[in-house]
Structure 1
């Protein structure tokens, strides 16, 4: 059995991009629309909320002291201690009205990052590959690219198109994280759209079902093996946390809610903690060159 509790009662307009920094024993996540980076440990430490000058979506660990932040202004190195930001690369998608979205680090140290239109324009979504200073688009023609995650052996990537309700499976080169074949449909999701995801040590894909009040676990053959219900409708992304990576935090959002809807669903935007019989994988550090 799994136990669901509230990890943080700070309500995020659009909570996203949770990650665990083992060297700091700290969870990080974003409120994209409010331009905030949040951080909190698991030991009753107080929540820290940092203002950002841009809409950021991904915090990839570089080392014990720095993150590589993906945002609608570009890639930035951020000091965890001081919050100082250094531009690493200007925003790479030069099409008007786009921003960064989902992302994860492949075992090779490559960062997959998605971009999408602010107005969810069909076909404007892309997934990009970054490693050691090199950046290139690798997947085109999506709308809201999400669920970027990798198998334990680094030979398979997963990603979704949330509005299309589809999770894809993509063969990749384990040495580089670059695609090595055509994408294939992994699962057609019903009862919500597939949002952020992560993979555990057993190779199960844990996916937040936006609009579905749930996180679903899929085996590598594309079968749902577990569903955990959550109080919030718009759950957005899971991440394994803790010294043993045996706990799961899940972000959520009240994006698009009016005052009446927010009053009816006060759980929206909170960040949840799930305790259960699972164990995650440590996310590799991103190689910046």
Structure 2
């Protein structure tokens, strides 16, 4: 396992840290504590951290424009005003099903937003993966236990997602202009032991940077599924990465203490914290979400 220069970006512990993203225009990183119903905002130039309390279980967000974000939550998608945090429901998402919540999500280069749901207790097959394309929400895949690793090739022609319940990373051919599937998913990586396939992001060269839940690391895979690198993260339950910095050359990684007994937390002193790995990676900016009215 490789060691790279690593710093703690935020020492506040997240029960379930997830959904990091970065807005280069404001040099701001965002991520969630899903269970704690908190949204973290960090200005990288100053190091200023603001923690926003939420009335919903937010799990991910995408930038719409300089004034608005689309926030993914347990009962729907909300337009959030960045200036004052005001949220307006845009589309319901399994709002009639109290047993589920949102989880992993990421924006396709076309502006289509892929979003995963799952059971609040990770019940088998209770989740799904949706695509928000030009304002229309379509269910792509059913009977998913824990949707994760939603990410896309730089040209938008390939999508990736995982079901952590099966510990399989899938690839699927996409229409690059819409971000919608053109074929059936096929298994790309299957992990047998040593942790679960969690959140992921794809760099400018098409390499997949995947957080390993329970493994305390980031795994790097080629588009063909070849394992290339494993990089240590200081918390055992590393959950999701995002490229940050004006040149997208560093990696922000969230973590969690969900499900850890007291003795396990003592043995993992950085549990739930958020880190920056100085890797000199060739990352990419996150696309903006395109809404029907955009």
Give the TM bin, normalised by the shorter chain: over 0.9
Structure 1, unpaired ranges of 5+ = none
Equivalent runs, 1:33-48 vs 2, <5 Å: 33-48=35-50
Equivalent runs, 1:112-261 vs 2, <5 Å: 112-189=114-191, 190-261=193-264
Q: Which residue of structure 1 aligns with residue 268 of structure 2?
A: 265
1:93 is displaced (CA, Å) by 5.6
2:21 is equivalent to residue 14 of structure 1 = no
Structure 1 Cα separation of the partners of residues 170 and 92 of structure 2: 29
Q: Which residue of structure 2 aligns with residue 75 of structure 1?
A: 77
Alignment RMSD, CA only? 1.2
Q: What is the aligned residue count?
A: 289
2:6 to 4, 7, 16: 4
Contact 1:2/1:277 (CA < 8 Å) preserved in 2?
Answer: no
2:26 to 10, 24, 43: 24
Contact 1:248/1:274 (CA < 8 Å) preserved in 2?
Answer: yes
1:2 is displaced (CA, Å) by 2.8
**SS in structure 2 at match of 1:164:** coil
Structure 2 Cα separation of the partners of residues 77 and 63 of structure 1: 11
1:130 is displaced (CA, Å) by 0.2
Structure 1 Cα separation of the partners of residues 121 and 227 of structure 2: 31
Structure 1 Cα separation of the partners of residues 262 and 144 of structure 2: 32
Structure 2 Cα separation of the partners of residues 62 and 181 of structure 1: 28
Q: Which residue of structure 1 aligns with residue 65 of structure 2?
A: 63
Contact 2:237/2:271 (CA < 8 Å) preserved in 1?
Answer: yes
**TM-score normalized by the length of structure 1:** 0.97
Q: Which residue of structure 2 aligns with residue 280 of structure 1?
A: 283
Contact 1:167/1:186 (CA < 8 Å) preserved in 2?
Answer: yes
Structure 2 Cα separation of the partners of residues 27 and 270 of structure 1: 14
Structure 1 Cα separation of the partners of residues 55 and 194 of structure 2: 35
Structure 2, unpaired ranges of 5+ = none
1:282 is displaced (CA, Å) by 1.0
1:266 is displaced (CA, Å) by 1.9
Contact 2:4/2:232 (CA < 8 Å) preserved in 1?
Answer: no
Q: Which runs of 4+ in 1 moved over 6 A?
A: none
Structure 2 Cα separation of the partners of residues 160 and 144 of structure 1: 8
Deviations 1:151-196 (A, max 9, x none): 0010100000112111001111101111110111100123111000
Query: Aligned pair in 2 of structure 1 residues 197, 221: CA closer, same or farther (>3 Å)?
Result: same
Deviations 1:79-113 (A, max 9, x none): 11111111111233643401111000001110000
**SS in structure 2 at match of 1:182:** coil
Equivalent runs, 1:99-114 vs 2, <5 Å: 99-114=101-116
